[in-house]
């Protein structure tokens, strides 16, 4: 990273503010309940800002957020990070073209996760913004290394993955970007769920899917 320590600390403070805004917004719009769900964001210097464990989002301040290095080491005197820190580290360390991870329990997306059923890509904006169907990672216990690795494996060419019997993970160029995409996935899941009750959703033409998918991958590569 270019610049001196002052610029790095300014970036870290901006990341803290961004993570706090994201967790409070996802709580406000009902993408999670209580202290469930978690958020992380990586700075260009390699610092990772994470939500703490078991703290109500409405009471959280930027000082409550936890900063670690890329190995997950926490400096003394901080809160305990989310129990799903392994999930965030697995995604961030495996994919250097992302900087934000948002894990939520939205109602419609979680319905697909419980059924171990991918959310099919049948909307143009879904392919363009997410990169394809939202696939389902196999079930592993919350907080396990196996779960983190299974989810990270699905995120190499798209922005979202479902966790079996659990919820949704979305990655982006920042925590704010990942939250925006989370809302898009949940909206699409609601539309697809409704379409399934009406009949059988029709797929997009494969040629169009390839175009939109390549546009997603191009935008993502620019974040590296």
What per-residue confidence (pLDDT) applies to 170? 98
Neighbours of 121 (CB within 10 A): 23
Q: 220 — phi, psi (to 5°)? A: -65, -35
Please state the rounded mean pLDDT for residues 70-95.
96
The kind and range of the H/E element at 42 are strand 38-42
Distance, CA of 21 to CA of 196 (rounded, Å)? 34
The 10s digit of each residue's pLDDT in 171-194 is 999 999 999 999 999 999 999 999
Longest dimension (CA), the chain: 59
Q: Give the pLDDT confidence of 124-177 residue by residue, as tens digits.
A: 999 999 999 999 999 999 999 999 999 999 999 999 999 999 999 999 999 999
Report the pLDDT value the prediction gives residue 220, as an integer from 0 to 100: 92
Predicted local confidence at residue 8, as pLDDT: 52
CATH number of this structure's domain 5-221 = 3.40.225.10
Taken as a whole, the chain contains a residue count of 224
Question: Treating both helix axes as pointing N-terminal to C-terminal, what angle do 145-153 and 85-94 enclose, rounded to 10 degrees?
Answer: 40
């Amino acid at each position: 990273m270019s610049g001196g320590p002052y610029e790095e600390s300014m970036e870290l403070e901006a990341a803290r503010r961004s993570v706090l805004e994201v967790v409070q917004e996802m709580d406000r719009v009902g993408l999670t309940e209580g202290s469930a769900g978690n958020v992380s964001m990586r700075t260009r210097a390699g610092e990772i800002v994470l939500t703490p464990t078991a703290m109500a989002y409405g009471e959280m301040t930027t000082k409550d957020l936890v900063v670690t290095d890329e190995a997950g080491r926490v400096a003394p005197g901080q809160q305990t990070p989310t129990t799903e820190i392994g999930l965030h580290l697995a995604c961030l360390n495996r994919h250097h073209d992302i900087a934000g991870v948002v894990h939520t329990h939205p109602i419609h997306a979680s319905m697909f996760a419980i059924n171990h059923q991918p959310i099919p890509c049948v909307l143009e904006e879904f392919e363009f913004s997410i990169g394809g169907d939202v696939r389902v990672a196999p079930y592993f216990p919350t907080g396990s290394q196996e779960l983190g690795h299974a989810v990270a494996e699905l995120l190499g060419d798209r922005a979202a993955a479902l966790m079996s019997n659990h919820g949704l993970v979305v990655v982006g160029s920042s925590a704010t970007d990942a939250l925006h995409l989370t809302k898009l996935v949940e909206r699409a899941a609601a539309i697809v769920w409704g379409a399934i009750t009406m009949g059988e959703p029709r797929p997009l033409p494969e040629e169009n899917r390839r175009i939109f998918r390549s546009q997603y991958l191009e935008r993502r590569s620019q974040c590296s």
